Amino acid sequence: MPVLSIRHLILSLLLMGALVSSVRAGNSIMIWPIDPVIDSGDKATELWLENRGDATTLMQVRIFGWRQVNGNEQFRNQQDVVASPPMVRMEPGKRQLIRLIRQQATPANKESAYRILIDEIPTPPDPGTRPTGLTFQMRYSVPLFVYGLGLPASSAHPQLSWYIAKRDGRQLLFINNRGNSHARLSNVSLAGHQLSGSLLGYVLAGSQNAFPLNFPVSIHDTLSAQLSTTRNWQSKGSPQAE
């Protein structure tokens, strides 16, 4: 079962002293699954956290609505789906179950997208000790997709096309998705160049996302990507912006 290590996603470095000579890493937290889904007939799904470090850690779990507008990611506060519990204290070697609960009905025949943000809450130093060095404050970002009645996750599929355009002097690859499900793009190549050997990004259902390019591309070139373990996508470009 795939897991996501906390060491892969570092939100920020917090300076804890005027003079520093060391870095203190946060606890090693594992998360699974990294692609949770609430299917059309389900009320909730599970997310697991495990503390593989040697110190107690506090974790805050929040869920935001996620959409893509004009190639930009946007997040909003929402209460359609909530995490229970929203705050956990984890001892070394312990696991914690987080339930992701649908509170409002998802529109029929629709896929709704969310981002689960899991933040490590810094713990105060032990009494009598003086903080030194840098402390990592960690953040995980995990996608969550929720399906309405009439659209089981197994029957939802993206429908993709792409074109090239310039914005603010930069050449961008725009990918449109007219399907009823998100596209997870990995192992992406275009015009003989590999854009990503792993995950490039997502294009949500009924949305568009943009990715920067640093090499010339023609609409006659072929874009190829892996959408899942069993599905690949190849396509020529669109002659004009859609």
For the chain, the domains span: 29-124+136-153, 157-236
57-69 vs 222-226, strand pairing mode:
unpaired
Calculate the average pLDDT of the chain. 86
What is the reported pLDDT for 122?
Answer: 78
Phi/psi for 153 (5° steps) reads: -55, -35
- 169-227 pLDDT tens trace: 899 999 999 999 999 999 999 999 999 999 999 999 999 999 999 999 998 999 999 99
* More confident position, 36 or 133: 36
**CA–CA separation, 29 vs 52, rounded Å?**
6
CB atoms closer than 10 angstroms to residue 13: 11
Q: Give the DSSP letter of residue 17.
A: S
The pLDDT of residue 23: 33
What is the predicted pLDDT for the residue at 131? 58
Contacts of 225 (CB under 8 A, 6+ apart): 183, 185, 186, 187, 188, 189, 200, 232, 233
Residue range 128-144, pLDDT digits in tens? 666 555 556 789 999 99
70 band by pLDDT with thresholds 50, 70 and 90: confident
Higher pLDDT, 10 or 163: 163
Task: Tell me the three state secondary structure of residue 6.
Answer: helix
Least confident piece of the model among 80-84, 109-113, 134-138, 200-204: 134-138
Q: Do domains 29-124+136-153 and 157-236 have the same CATH topology?
A: yes
**pLDDT tens column, 220-229:** 999 999 999 8
Provide Rg for the chain, Cα atoms.
21
Q: Are strands 134-147 and 95-102 parallel, antiparallel or unpaired?
A: unpaired
Third-level CATH fold of 29-124+136-153: Immunoglobulin-like (2.60.40)
- The model carries a pTM of 0.85
pLDDT in tens, 140-158: 999 999 999 999 999 999 9
Position 10 scores a pLDDT of: 36
pLDDT of residue 229: 82
Under 8 Å between Cβ of 30 and 153: no
CA-CA-CA-CA torsion sign (189, 194, 197, 201)? negative
- Residue 70 corresponds to which tokens in the numbers above? 């004009």
CATH fit for domain 157-236, picks 1.20.120, 2.60.40, 1.10.1740, 3.10.450 = 2.60.40
Task: Tell me what the mean pLDDT of segment 73-93 comes to.
Answer: 97
User: What are the tokens at 174?
Assistant: 């725009």
pLDDT average, residue stretch 46-54: 95
Cα four-point dihedral sign 218, 219, 221, 223: positive
